Amino acid sequence: MIRHLTIENFALIEKLSIDFSSGFTIITGETGAGKSILLGALGLVLGKRADLSSLKNKDEKCIVEAHFELPAYGLRPFFESKDFDYDDQTIIRREILPSGKSRAFVNDSPVNIQDLQELGAFLIDIHSQHQTLSLSEEEFQFRIIDAIAANGQNLSDYQHHLKVYRQHRSELTAFQEKLQQSLKEHDYNAFLFEELSAANLKAGEQEELETAYEQLNNVEFIRETLEKSIGLATDETYGILSNLREMRAAVQKLSGFSEDFRLLSERLDSASIELDDIASELDRASENLNQDPEQLEIVNQKLQAIYNLQKKHGVSTVTELLAIQSELESKTASAEEIENRIGELQLLISDSEKRLDVIAEGLSANRQKAIPELNSQLVAILAQLGMPDARFKIEVTNGQNYLSNGKDELLFHFAANKGSSFGSLKKVASGGEMSRIMLAVKSVLAQYSKLPSIIFDEIDTGVSGEIAHKMAEIMFSMSRNMQVFSITHLPQIAAKGDRHFKVFKRSDAQTTTSEIKLLDKEERVVEIAQMLSGSVVSDSAINHAKALLN
């Protein structure tokens, strides 16, 4: 439960510090006095959105700090799951800086807003007039039934498997779209791959073929040049080798006269050996040179095939063509991989559906058992609240779709009077009836939930007299098991509280502030008397207030 609330620089509040206790706490005040400001500040520590408009003084930060007593509510596992520091006396602080930046802390450790909102849902239920409207929403109606059906763990298991199921469904859709696109391109890619594969390309092949083509295409010229060169080297009279031998023999005769002549003789020996080897190579090249038109045509065709492929793919080397071939091979193989992954996902989805179906059946069975109990309790409470003929028609039927809370579809209809037809709550229930139904719902839920605190913000709208007195008794009864706050304008409800706070405005020449005060016994009599008769308090109003308090 909440034990203490401190507010600084928020809306009309400069600084406020309030201690709360267990039981039934009343908060009253004139319209506009600042009761909604208290709820707004409390909403901040529960993770609601904040902005600079919340700051009273725009140059200073706003701080809202709430102390909660937690031992009885089993929240340690939640704290551990979020890696929060647990303390039986937990402090939540929210700060809004003048820059607009917002910070949140749990026991002085920074936390993000989403985690704070999840924690806040375990601590306080703030009932507003807006929430009364949610009575007609199917999601809220399911929450009522599931609380009584003790479906908490089943819902948690279901939502875990539903998340996995939806992830697999999303992945399956993505892969199916990818497969369709891949299949559109598959035939063309396969054709290109087969074309490149049939060319049987090898790295460096183009250069070899171009060299071979030039030789085969110029055989006569090469032969004539080789024969001429061989003749120049080997002619017995004028050939280079013959003249070199004479030159070599002459210089050899001089080698004995000096070292220089000897070295020249050795060089001529080397030149003679090298030139003789060159002549032999030219001779072998001439002998191996064949005019082969068929081979020339084969080489030419292979080169033209390479050139055509290079032009088609916009590249200039065989190495680049081989890279494209490898890429096309991967693309044509990827369709099979995608099909395999689709098959795996379909099996996973089928398994998830089986798990979800089993859990959904359990949820539905528990709901069917809970509906008579819920119906009975709501009707009994509404009879106390002046609606003796109220009836509910609550039906759960199995659907086909996997929803966030199972596969059930819900019919939650209401009839207020004898002979009247059933209809949806928002169509057939008046504002006052909706307030009473919501109180009945909250009263039932309080028996099944472990929520530490609940705040009713003018749940008494549209009721008065004896009905207000009955509503007060129900809230008082709820407060024996949980901390209950009621913001009210009705004296019948205000008189039932264990403690009574009054919110009021105080003004001076410069500013207006909202303040809150815990009323003592005499002040409480006056406050309730004013609620009965207005600002001018009569003796009869005082007596009536005392009677209500007694």
pLDDT value at residue 193: 76
Last residue of a domain, one of 302, 336, 370: 336
Strand duo 406-415 + 62-69: pairing: unpaired
| Judgement on whether residues 185 and 44 belong to the same structural domain of the protein | no
151, amino acid identity: N
Query: What is the pTM (predicted TM-score) of this model?
Result: 0.66
| Judgement on whether residues 107 and 184 belong to the same structural domain of the protein | no
| Judgement on whether residues 329 and 456 belong to the same structural domain of the protein | no
| Domain contains 399 | no
Gyration radius (Cα) of the chain, Å: 48
| Domain contains 47 | yes
| Judgement on whether residues 222 and 101 belong to the same structural domain of the protein | no
What is residue 297's three-state secondary structure?
A: helix
Helix (H) or strand (E) holding 424: strand 423-424
Q: What's the half-sphere exposure (Cβ side, CA atoms, 13 Å) at 223?
A: 10
Burial 377-386 (b: 16+ CB within 10 A, else e): bbbebbebbb
CATH number at residue 50: 3.40.50.300
| Judgement on whether residues 81 and 194 belong to the same structural domain of the protein | no
Break the chain down into helix, strand, coil percent, rounded to 5. 60, 20, 20
Specify whether the backbone of 534 is left (phi greater than 0), alpha (psi in -120 to 50) or beta.
left
Q: Pick the closest to residue 152 from 74, 216, 91, 233 (CA basis).
A: 74
- Within 429-539, strands assigned E span 453-457, 483-487, 499-507, 512-518
| Judgement on whether residues 188 and 272 belong to the same structural domain of the protein | yes
Per DSSP, helices labelled H in 105-258 are 113-123, 129-133, 138-148, 152-199, 205-217, 219-234, 240-254
| Domain contains 38 | yes
| Judgement on whether residues 193 and 323 belong to the same structural domain of the protein | yes
| Domain contains 246 | yes
pLDDT value at residue 502: 93
Last residue of a domain, one of 316, 336, 356: 336
| Judgement on whether residues 257 and 117 belong to the same structural domain of the protein | no
| Domain contains 248 | yes
Q: What are phi and psi of 257, to 5 degrees?
A: -85, -25
Q: Give me the number of domains the chain comprises.
A: 2
Q: CA-to-CA distance for 198 and 11, rounded, in angstroms?
A: 80
Strand duo 391-403 + 406-415: pairing: antiparallel
| Judgement on whether residues 90 and 196 belong to the same structural domain of the protein | no
Contact 135, 434 (CB under 8 A): yes
Q: Can you say how many angstroms the Cα of residue 374 is from the centroid of all Cα atoms in its chain?
A: 36
| Judgement on whether residues 187 and 322 belong to the same structural domain of the protein | yes
Given the structure tokens 């594969």, which residue do they identify?
A: 197
pLDDT value at residue 164: 94
| Judgement on whether residues 192 and 123 belong to the same structural domain of the protein | no
Q: CA-to-CA distance for 183 and 370, rounded, in angstroms?
A: 53
Last residue of a domain, one of 309, 336, 363: 336
| Domain contains 531 | no
Tens place of pLDDT for every residue, the chain, 550 residues? Answer: 899 999 998 888 889 999 999 999 999 988 877 788 888 889 899 988 877 777 888 888 899 999 999 888 888 888 988 889 999 999 999 998 888 888 999 999 999 999 999 899 889 888 876 666 678 788 889 988 998 999 989 999 999 999 999 999 999 998 888 887 777 666 677 777 787 877 888 888 778 777 777 777 777 787 778 778 878 777 776 778 888 887 888 888 888 888 888 888 888 888 888 888 888 888 887 777 766 677 777 777 788 888 888 888 888 888 888 888 887 777 665 677 888 889 999 999 999 999 999 999 999 999 999 999 999 999 999 999 889 999 999 999 999 999 999 999 999 999 988 888 899 888 888 888 888 888 899 888 888 877 789 999 888 777 778 888 999 999 999 998 889 999 998 999 999 999 999 999 888 877 888 889 999 999 999 999 998 888 788 889 899 999 998 8
| Domain contains 527 | no
Q: Pick the closest to residue 397 from 136, 142, 154 (CA basis).
A: 142
| Judgement on whether residues 330 and 248 belong to the same structural domain of the protein | yes
| Domain contains 5 | yes
Q: Which domain holds residue 246?
A: 180-336
